[in-house]
Structure 1
Amino acid sequence: MKGLLKHRLTPGFFTSQPDYVVLLSLSALVGALAGLIVSMFEAAIHLMTNQRLHFFDSWQLPVGITALLVILAGAFVAALGFVLTAKLAPETSGSGIPHVEGALDGLHDIRWWRVLPVKFVAGVLTLSSGMVLGREGPSVQIGGAVGRMCASLIGKYPYAPHVLTASGAAAGLAAAFNAPLAGILFIIEEMRPQFRYNFTSFKCVTLASLMATIVLRYFHGQDAVMDIPTFQVPPLGSLWLFLLLGIIFGVIGTYFNVWVLRCTAFFKRYHRNNILRVASTGAALGGLFALFQLFLPSISGGGVALITEFVREPMAWGIMVLIFMVRLVATLGCFSSGAPGGVFAPMLALGTLLGLAYGTVAAGLFPSLVAEPGVYAVAGMGALFAATVRAPVTGIILVVEMTDNYQLIMPLLMTCLGATFIAQALGGSPLYSALLQQSLSTNAPPVAATPTPATEEPENNNNTAATTTSTSVPTKAE
């Protein structure tokens, strides 16, 4: 209860109307900058991938030699991305979301002058190699770093770093998925232990997400991220099938988190801050998935193109289950290796594959209930996200914004809530919270805030919050 009051009863951040206007203006600036940088990040990944795949075409070499050069180029750029991350900004490894959560909780400081260039460049290099990674998690960290950068310009306001970091993180996710509501909900639902609620902070997060989405759509258009069919609403009698699918994903999501933590711990023990080992890991994974990108493209990349392809033209359910299993192993290996990439898109691809396989079987068994197997693919996207991140509402809104299938709210509710309930019943922690705790327990953060023990911090902060709250009066701006 004290931990809850700590964030629910945070006093007014600013005491005058001009200060309030300054904060909102900075939030809009953070959103616009985050949207611009994330748009450039996406464009750079596509450009680098295309250059690596087709740079050697003009050399007119034998096909085998050209393929070998493409694979070696993938190994080189991935190794370079790993080395840049390990040498210049180790906090940019992985998605970066746990680092942002730690910063919001006062456990980390964001070295934005390092995080922004390293995450951008190393992320472009690593993701363009063909590894099974997403750009969405890095976009959240980039947005959070933009927020901290803007906050550093106004040292007058002690609460600005928290609000602008949260606003930038929301803007980064909104721009990455072209999903402003999902960006807002991600901060409120996933980062609820760290985010300090009041009307001003909520307005700032909302405004930043809006501005980031406007900038993104200016450059990339207003279409949904995934060009998949718009499905009809399934009959109410089929909702139990979606609940069963959610139960399956609840079990898978629980074990997925356990496997991620174990694989992450393994790679940390293997690397031991040895640059040669870090580089060799990047080269091996980059070369392997560059090979897959040439000959088995469904096993490489983040998976957004795979989702569109499979929903429009499903394969036999057995083949989709096989691809799901292979990509599951690939996702665990790539995400846990320390690469500066995320797991959002790979999780959505996994959910699509298993959901589509489930829907194909269900359509054969219950033809009167299942009109389109693709409906289960959409539900599966949200279900795996909900089970791993434990943010069901964010998962639902994220999927409907990405696919433009707003009419599938009911099936998504059944699947995502079922997955969340089962995952909670089986125990364990949400993925990003568990990764944050693992990083804190294994090694100190690169730039730490005041080294207050984690077990003492809530009580101390609660006392401060309670004392301050009892004397504060909400301002008109709030």
Structure 2
Amino acid sequence: MKIALPAACINGIKSFIDRFFTRKNSALLIWLSIFIGLLAGSISALFDHGIIWVSEMRLELIHTYGGGEVPLWVIAVPISSIMVGIAFYITHRFAPEAGGSGIPEIEGAMEGMRPVRWKRVIPVKFFGGLLALGSGMALGREGPSVQLGANIGRMISDIFKVDKVDAQALLAAGAAGGLAAAFNAPLAGIMFVIEEMRSQFNYSLTSTKSVFMSAVMATIVMRLFTNQDAVVTVTQYSHPDLHTLGFYLILGFCFGVIGLFFNKMILATQDMYLSIHQNQRWRFVGIGLFLGAVFGALTIVEPDIAFSGIELIPHVEGGQYLAGGLLLLFILRTFTTLLSFGSGAPGGVFAPTLALGTLFGMLFGVIAQALFPDLITEPGAFAIAGMGGLFAATVRAPITGILLVIEMTSNYEMILPLIVTCLGATMVAQTLGGRPIYTQLLERTLKLSMRAKRQETTDKAMFRILGKYSKYKK
């Protein structure tokens, strides 16, 4: 039996579709955003599987040639050293802007201050990121995913020759798709663009829909490649007692102070590396060879302070470490995260920051339980809140941090303590004069770029003067 829809209903549907797609090139922009989301999700999934494959190949080589009389770390050192050395070389040689997380580059591009050379960045970021992360460095995959997604957005903009405003919207859509796919977190990907890139993003109904479409499609593709489970498997906590919210606020205050100093240490570490390599390629690659050797050994000797830290989160939250071990791990992972991210290796800092937040949050929970055993019964809940707390203090995007943690862990009933912790962290960081880490990194990049241009102009002028002088002497 066929059911005929009323003519008024059919006309209403057609009218809605027309209004949705046909406003000022909206149709093209929406469909391009869907396409960008599909591509961003696909490349993020390939990147994720590629990291796993490279890591497994590295371990297979280590176990093939090591063991017995030859310690495994002795074999791991040259393998990881070569991997990171190659990553540093191709980054410095072909696309220096592919170093680091790449997120400041995208924010700069949205303001028209940084170029987007997608023909170079996409292959360099992809393969350089595979080698750096696969070697065991304390880096996250979200930075490369965001930059890859954004560069795909610019690639599609160039191919279809869209105007400047629409190109910016597609760039943002690609970034949202990249983050959504990296963490299986579509809401966090959307909010990251709206909150973190609020000063660069050109808000309009069409551009916002583009971001939504890309994030949704990228997440769908990622889940088809992997699964629909949460990225991190942890305990599912119920609503905490209201009288414990004060402890979450204090935890947030602690993260506000920690985040302020963490951002300062990132910038100081980058300055230290710059003073060593002075932008000379052989020195830059030498740093990569050294770091690869260090992290190659750490992956065998002490893997808890290497890698991104995502795999460590369930063990920390599950209570497998005592207070002393948590403090030691927090200090050591802070050091390895700074060494990795500050070097300019192609990798992100989101995942290592989440791991650090989990460690300190769990440490806080263990201490609070020891002092107030009648009030605090589940210290692991503070580990979940800590994931968002440090993120909020460093990136200064509290809503993104809240959504990211909830989607990553499926702990939807932890939303209230997460809000309290992230709000406290943001308030303290702002009161102490802290600024978002990506804003500071972008400013640093622009200053270094201007300095390089001035030096280049000075050098050319000197060559011209010397050339004229030599002719005069002749």
How far did 1:370 drift? 1.7
Pick from 276, 279, 286 the counterpart of residue 280 of structure 1. 286
Give matches, 1:251-330, under 5 Å. 251-330=257-336
- Is contact 1:242-1:411 (8 Å) kept? yes
What residue identity is the alignment partner of 2:190? I
How far did 1:176 drift? 0.3
Q: Does 1:401 align with 2:407?
A: yes
Deviates more, 1:151-160 or 1:32-41: 151-160
Question: What's the secondary structure of 1:224's corresponding residue?
Answer: coil
How far did 1:37 drift? 0.1
How far did 1:313 drift? 3.4
Pick from 208, 220, 227 the counterpart of residue 221 of structure 1. 227
Residue 192 of structure 1 corresponds to which residue in structure 2?
A: 198
Greater relative CO (CA pairs within 8 A, separation 6+): 1
How far did 1:446 drift? 9.9
- Is contact 1:91-1:445 (8 Å) kept? no
Provide the rounded CA distance (Å) in 2 between the counterparts of 1:445 and 1:195.
27
- Is contact 2:133-2:139 (8 Å) kept? yes
How far did 1:371 drift? 2.3
Residue 34 of structure 1 corresponds to which residue in structure 2?
A: 40
Provide the rounded CA distance (Å) in 2 between the counterparts of 1:403 and 1:106.
36
Deviates more, 1:297-306 or 1:364-373: 364-373
How far did 1:271 drift? 1.5
| TM-score (normalizing by structure 1) | 0.88
- Is contact 1:234-1:371 (8 Å) kept? no
Residue 438 of structure 1 corresponds to which residue in structure 2?
A: 444
- Is contact 2:319-2:380 (8 Å) kept? no
Pick from 164, 173, 176 the counterpart of residue 170 of structure 1. 176
Provide the rounded CA distance (Å) in 1 between the counterparts of 2:343 and 2:309.
18
Judging changes above 3 Å, is the alpha-carbon distance between structure 1 residues 191 and 49 closer, same or farther for their aligned structure 2 residues? Answer: same
- Is contact 1:390-1:430 (8 Å) kept? yes
How far did 1:18 drift? 7.4
Pick from 180, 197, 212 the counterpart of residue 206 of structure 1. 212
Residue 359 of structure 1 corresponds to which residue in structure 2?
A: 365
How far did 1:296 drift? 0.5
Provide the rounded CA distance (Å) in 2 between the counterparts of 1:202 and 1:289.
41
What residue identity is the alignment partner of 2:107? E
| TM-score (normalizing by structure 2) | 0.89
Q: Does 1:411 align with 2:404?
A: no
Residue 6 of structure 1 corresponds to which residue in structure 2?
A: none
Judging changes above 3 Å, is the alpha-carbon distance between structure 1 residues 280 and 410 closer, same or farther for their aligned structure 2 residues? Answer: same
Q: Does 1:180 align with 2:195?
A: no
- Is contact 2:384-2:405 (8 Å) kept? yes
Which of the pair has more CA radius of gyration? 2
Judging changes above 3 Å, is the alpha-carbon distance between structure 1 residues 376 and 15 closer, same or farther for their aligned structure 2 residues? Answer: closer
Residue 126 of structure 1 corresponds to which residue in structure 2?
A: 132
Q: Does 1:104 align with 2:110?
A: yes
Residue 59 of structure 2 corresponds to which residue in structure 1?
A: 53
What residue identity is the alignment partner of 2:287? T
Provide the rounded CA distance (Å) in 2 between the counterparts of 1:197 and 1:63.
63
Across the aligned residues of Structure 1 and Structure 2, the Cα RMSD in angstroms comes to 1.7
Provide the rounded CA distance (Å) in 1 between the counterparts of 2:72 and 2:414.
45
Residue 245 of structure 1 corresponds to which residue in structure 2?
A: 251
Judging changes above 3 Å, is the alpha-carbon distance between structure 1 residues 446 and 186 closer, same or farther for their aligned structure 2 residues? Answer: farther
Provide the rounded CA distance (Å) in 2 between the counterparts of 1:291 and 1:316.
25
Question: What's the secondary structure of 1:109's corresponding residue?
Answer: coil
Pick from 143, 146, 157 the counterpart of residue 137 of structure 1. 143
Residue 98 of structure 2 corresponds to which residue in structure 1?
A: 92
The CA deviation string for residues 83-140 of structure 1, in whole angstroms up to 9 with x for no partner, is 1101100001100000000000110121001110000000000111111111111111
The CA deviation string for residues 7-32 of structure 1, in whole angstroms up to 9 with x for no partner, is xxxxxxx9954721110000000011
Deviates more, 1:258-267 or 1:376-385: 258-267
Judging changes above 3 Å, is the alpha-carbon distance between structure 1 residues 56 and 207 closer, same or farther for their aligned structure 2 residues? Answer: same
How far did 1:231 drift? 1.1
- Is contact 1:185-1:393 (8 Å) kept? yes
What residue identity is the alignment partner of 1:441? K
Pick from 44, 50, 57 the counterpart of residue 44 of structure 1. 50
Deviates more, 1:98-107 or 1:152-161: 152-161
Question: What's the secondary structure of 1:326's corresponding residue?
Answer: helix
The CA deviation string for residues 351-388 of structure 1, in whole angstroms up to 9 with x for no partner, is 00010011011112222222211100000010000000
Provide the rounded CA distance (Å) in 2 between the counterparts of 1:445 and 1:433.
18
Judging changes above 3 Å, is the alpha-carbon distance between structure 1 residues 196 and 65 closer, same or farther for their aligned structure 2 residues? Answer: same
The count of corresponding residues between Structure 1 and Structure 2 is 434
Residue 372 of structure 1 corresponds to which residue in structure 2?
A: 378
Structure 2 unmatched ranges of 5 or more: 1-19, 454-474
Deviates more, 1:104-113 or 1:63-72: 63-72
Provide the rounded CA distance (Å) in 1 between the counterparts of 2:218 and 2:162.
25
Question: What's the secondary structure of 2:312's corresponding residue?
Answer: helix
The CA deviation string for residues 299-340 of structure 1, in whole angstroms up to 9 with x for no partner, is 100000001122123311111011100111111111010101
How far did 1:232 drift? 1.9
Question: What's the secondary structure of 1:309's corresponding residue?
Answer: helix
- Is contact 1:173-1:183 (8 Å) kept? yes
Judging changes above 3 Å, is the alpha-carbon distance between structure 1 residues 24 and 446 closer, same or farther for their aligned structure 2 residues? Answer: farther
Provide the rounded CA distance (Å) in 2 between the counterparts of 1:419 and 1:207.
31
How far did 1:152 drift? 0.5
Q: Does 1:384 align with 2:415?
A: no
Judging changes above 3 Å, is the alpha-carbon distance between structure 1 residues 71 and 143 closer, same or farther for their aligned structure 2 residues? Answer: same
